[in-house]
Amino acid sequence: MSNNKTDLNRRNVLKGLATAAAVGTVAAAVSGTASANTITDKKDVEKKGDGYRETQHIRDYYDSL
């Protein structure tokens, strides 16, 4: 009888680990979607800007090539 009790405890632990892994995956997917939306919003703002500006540090970089 003690083997059945041990097997049930082990099974419950494994179920708990599987549930925690699933919750972690969903949380990562949701946070990734939120980050993607933020990046998209920043790109929209950049498109409305003045465009490419060549500054001194960029000129210095080009000269170093």
pLDDT digits (tens, 9 = 90+) for 16-30: 888 888 888 877 777
Output the pLDDT for position 63. 94
Output the pLDDT for position 60. 95
Output the pLDDT for position 15. 86
Q: Give start and end residues of each alpha helix (H) in the chain.
A: 2-47, 56-64
Residue 26 tokens read as 């969903």
Residue-range definition of the domain harbouring residue 55: 2-64
Return d(Cα 11, Cα 7) in angstroms, integer.
6
Return d(Cα 51, Cα 13) in angstroms, integer.
56
Place of tokens 């090539």: 65
Per the structure, the count of domains in the chain is 1
Decide which of 3 and 42 is more confident.
Answer: 3
Return d(Cα 45, Cα 53) in angstroms, integer.
16
